[in-house]
Structure 1
Amino acid sequence: MKKKHYIIPIFVPHHGCPFDCIFCNQKKITGQNNGLSAAEVDERINQFISTIPEPLSQHIEIAFFGGSFTGIEIEHQRKLLSTAAKWKEKGYIQDIRISTRPDYIDEEIMNLLIKYSVSIIELGVQSMDDEILIKSCRGHSANDVVHAVSLIRTYDIQLGLQMMIGLPGDTREKIDYTADHIIALKPDFVRIYPTVVIRDTSLERMYLSGSYIPFDLDEAVHICKNLLLRFNDAHIPIIRLGLQVTETVAIGKEVVSGPFHPAFRQLVESAVYKDVLDRTCINEEIHDRKTIEIQVHSRYISSLVGQKKSNIEYVLNKYSIGYTRIFPNDSLGFGEIKIIKK
C-alpha cells in the first residue's frame, strides 16, 4: 500500500523579514501573529504525529511556512531546526521544508540547513522582472534568484519556486517572461498565486486610491490555464495554484478584492478541459449524437465536468449531443481525454 503524505505546518509569520512587500500581511494569511518557541514546535509535532495511524509507516514532512525562515536570528533557527531534526532522527519525519527569500541564501545558511537535515527549500521569487519587484517592495532582484538557485543546486536538496501573477506593473508579457526564466531554472516544483488584495496592506491602499487594479477572476483563470500547460509540458509540477483558504482568508473577510476563489485550481483545470473537449469534439466530428462516452483520468473527472457541470452542458449544447457518460481511464494524463461515439 502506498504511503500517505502528511505535512505538519509550522507557521513563522513575518519573522526574519525586515521588508514590507505591498501585498503581504502574514498575520492575515497565516492566521497567526506570534512567534513559536522550540518547545511549542516540539509539542505541535508531537500532537500531529499522535493523530496519524502507524506514523512510522507513513511519509511525514515538517514544513516551516511564512516569513523568511533563514532571516530569523541564527540561534532561533538552530533551535527550531534541531527540534525538527530530532523527530527525523527518530524515524518519524522524512522531510524538513523551509520557505525563505532568494537574498537570504548563502553558503553559511546552506551549511546550517544541511546540518539539520533540511531536504526542501522554497524561494519566494514572485517575479523575474526587476521593475515589478521594485514596485512590490520585494527588496531583492532577479539576479538574487539566479544566484540562490545556483547555490542550492550544489546540494542534494529539492527546490521549489513561488510565482505571483498580477502584481503592480504586471502584464501577460511579463508573466510569460517570468515563467520562461523559472522553467529555465528547472525547479522541482512551483507554486503560483494570483495577487489578491489583503486588508491592512499597502496594496489595499493602492486599490482604494485607484492606483492598482487587480486581475478579475476570469482573466486570472485564463492566465493560469496557460501557465499550467507550460509547466506541465516542462514536467515541472505546480503543487499549489491559488491562495489557500483559511478561516480569515476569504472574500468579505480579509480578502478585499482580486481573483480569489476557494476552488481556484479546479477552475483552471476545468478551463483546460473545456478547450480539450472543444478541440476533440471538432477533430472527432462529434455532432448530433445521442450519446458519447468521455474517458478521463479519475483524478480529473470533476475538472472535466466543470463547476455545476458547466463543461458538459457546453458540449451538449454546442454539438447537439443528447447525453454524455463519463468513465475513468487512468492511463490518460492531465489534459488528455478519449471520446467514444455511440
Structure 2
Amino acid sequence: MDLTRYINTFGHAMHQRYGQKVHKVSINAAFTCPNRDGTKGIGGCTFCNNSSFNPNAKAALAVCEQVAAGKRIIRKRTGARKYLAYFQAYTNTYAEVSALKSLYDQALAIPDVIGLSIGTRPDCVPDKVLDLLASYRDRGFEVWLELGLQSTSDKVLRRVNRGHGFGEYVDAIQRVQQRNLQYCTHLIAGLPGESVNATANSARQVVEMGSTGLKLHPLHIVKGTQMAREWKHGEVTPMTLDEYVQVVANIVTEAPPELIFHRLTGTANKQLLLAPDWTEYKWKVLNSIYLELARRDPPQGTVLQVFAGSDTQQITSVNI
C-alpha cells in the first residue's frame, strides 16, 4: 500500500524537502486549555479525553526526556533520523510568550530536531506567539502551527462545547498568513449535528482560505467524556467505516496537489475507546482509503471542485 501514489502525505512532503525521513515526536508540556480552566468553560469539549490520543498525556518528564524516548521508538519503527518536536497535548500556545520560548528552545536544542509542530486552538494564537514562531522559521527551522478547528459550523462547535466559533479561526489564519507561516487545520468527521458529508464541506472552506495542511480524524467516543454519556443514551451515532472512507476519498480527490495531509485517520487508546470500534485499527482504515482511491484512480488534485462564486479549488496531503 503506497498512499503517496494518490496523496501528498506529510512524510512524503518532508522527504522531498530534506532528502530523508522526518517524523513528529509528541511532547506533553503540561499545558491546559481555556475551555477547561474556566477562562471560557469548564470540562472542555464534549469529545475530549486527552489521554485517548496523546500517549504522554500523564507524563511529567522534561522535554528532552520525552523527545529522547520518542526518538528511540521512532528510529526502531520507521528509521527516521530527523524530527519535529510536536507539542500535542491540550493548548500549546496557552502561556506567556517567555514560557513558550523556553519550552520551544529546549526542544530545538536537541540534536536532530529540525523544527516544531505546535498544536493549539484558533482563539489562542496572539500576535506575540505568531511572531515567535515566525522567528524560528526565519532561523531555518521547519515550523507548523496546527489549528484545531474540527468544523466550520458554529452550530456544531456550540453543540460540542468547543468554546470558539469559526470567526476566531478566520481571524487567526489572517494573522498567520500575514507572517507566511505554515498551518495545518484539524477537522473531525462524524460530530453530532453534522451530515455525513459535512467534513468535506469544511475541508473545502479551509482549503479555499489557504490552509497549507489538513489533518482528518474520525470522531472517537471515549470513556470519561460528556459525549460518552450522550452516546450511551442514543444521542450520538458514530460514522461507519465506509462513510468515513468515502468522505476522506472525496476530500483527497478534490484537493490541490500542494496541500499536505498530516493525517488521514486517528486511533484512540483501546482501553478508553467505546465507539466506533473500527477506529482501533489504523491500518485497516488506511488500507480501505487506499483501496477506494485505487478504485477511483484519481491522484490528489485531479478532480476539480467548484466552490463559492466562480473560484475553482482542490485539496491535498496526509501525515503518515
User: TM-score higher than 0.5 here?
Assistant: yes
Name the CA distance, whole Å, in 1 between partners of 2:81 and 2:232. 48
Contact persistence 1:186–1:236 (CA under 8 A): no
CA deviation after TM superposition for structure 1 residue 138, in Å: 0.6
Percent identity reads: 19
CA deviation after TM superposition for structure 1 residue 238, in Å: 1.6
Alignment of 1:222-241 (within 5 A): 222-231=246-255, 233=256, 235-241=258-264
CA deviation after TM superposition for structure 1 residue 244, in Å: 3.5
Partner of residue 273, structure 2: 255
Partner of residue 94, structure 1: 114
Partner of residue 130, structure 2: 110
Partner of residue 299, structure 1: none
Partner of residue 6, structure 1: 23
Return the letter of the residue paired with 1:255: L
Name the CA distance, whole Å, in 2 between partners of 1:48 and 1:26. 18
Q: Structure 1: which 4+ aligned runs deviate by more than 4 Å?
A: 46-53, 115-118
Partner of residue 212, structure 2: 188
Deviations 1:8-34 (A, max 9, x none): 221346623434111110023213443
Name the CA distance, whole Å, in 2 between partners of 1:92 and 1:276. 37
Partner of residue 129, structure 1: 153
Deviations 1:59-102 (A, max 9, x none): 32211112110114555423312212333xxx632211111000
Q: What is the root-mean-square deviation in Å for CA atoms of aligned residues?
A: 2.9
Gaps of 5+ in 2: 1-17, 37-43, 300-316
Partner of residue 81, structure 1: 104
Q: In structure 2, do the counterparts of structure 1 residues 172 and 28 end up closer, same or farther at CA, with 3 Å as the change threshold?
A: closer
Q: 1:43 aligns with which of 43, 56, 65?
A: 65
CA deviation after TM superposition for structure 1 residue 46, in Å: 4.6
Deviations 1:142-179 (A, max 9, x none): 11111111111122421111111110101145333312
Compare CA radii of gyration and give the structure with the larger one. Answer: 1
Contact persistence 1:16–1:72 (CA under 8 A): no
Deviations 1:274-333 (A, max 9, x none): 2349xxxxxxxxxxxxxxxxxx9xxxxxxxxxxxxxxxxxxxxxxxxxxxxxxxxxxxxx
Q: In structure 2, do the counterparts of structure 1 residues 212 and 164 end up closer, same or farther at CA, with 3 Å as the change threshold?
A: same
TM-score, L = length of structure 1: 0.69
Contact persistence 2:122–2:147 (CA under 8 A): yes
Q: Secondary structure at the match of 1:223?
A: helix
Name the CA distance, whole Å, in 1 between partners of 2:147 and 2:223. 24
Q: 1:64 aligns with which of 53, 62, 87?
A: 87
Q: Secondary structure at the match of 1:111?
A: helix
Q: Secondary structure at the match of 2:192?
A: coil
Name the CA distance, whole Å, in 1 between partners of 2:60 and 2:178. 31
Return the letter of the residue paired with 1:127: S
Q: Secondary structure at the match of 1:153?
A: helix
Name the CA distance, whole Å, in 2 between partners of 1:212 and 1:76. 39
Q: Secondary structure at the match of 1:238?
A: strand
Aligned length: 265
Contact persistence 2:97–2:129 (CA under 8 A): no
Return the letter of the residue paired with 1:241: L
Q: In structure 2, do the counterparts of structure 1 residues 164 and 81 end up closer, same or farther at CA, with 3 Å as the change threshold?
A: same
Partner of residue 320, structure 1: none
Of 166-175 and 21-30, deviating more is: 166-175
TM-score, L = length of structure 2: 0.73
Contact persistence 1:25–1:201 (CA under 8 A): yes
Name the CA distance, whole Å, in 1 between partners of 2:189 and 2:66. 33
Return the letter of the residue paired with 2:58: N
Write 1 or 2 for the structure with the bigger share of helix.
Answer: 1
Of 78-87 and 160-169, deviating more is: 78-87
Return the letter of the residue paired with 2:66: R
- Residue 217 (structure 1) aligned with residue 241 (structure 2): yes
Name the CA distance, whole Å, in 1 between partners of 2:181 and 2:263. 20
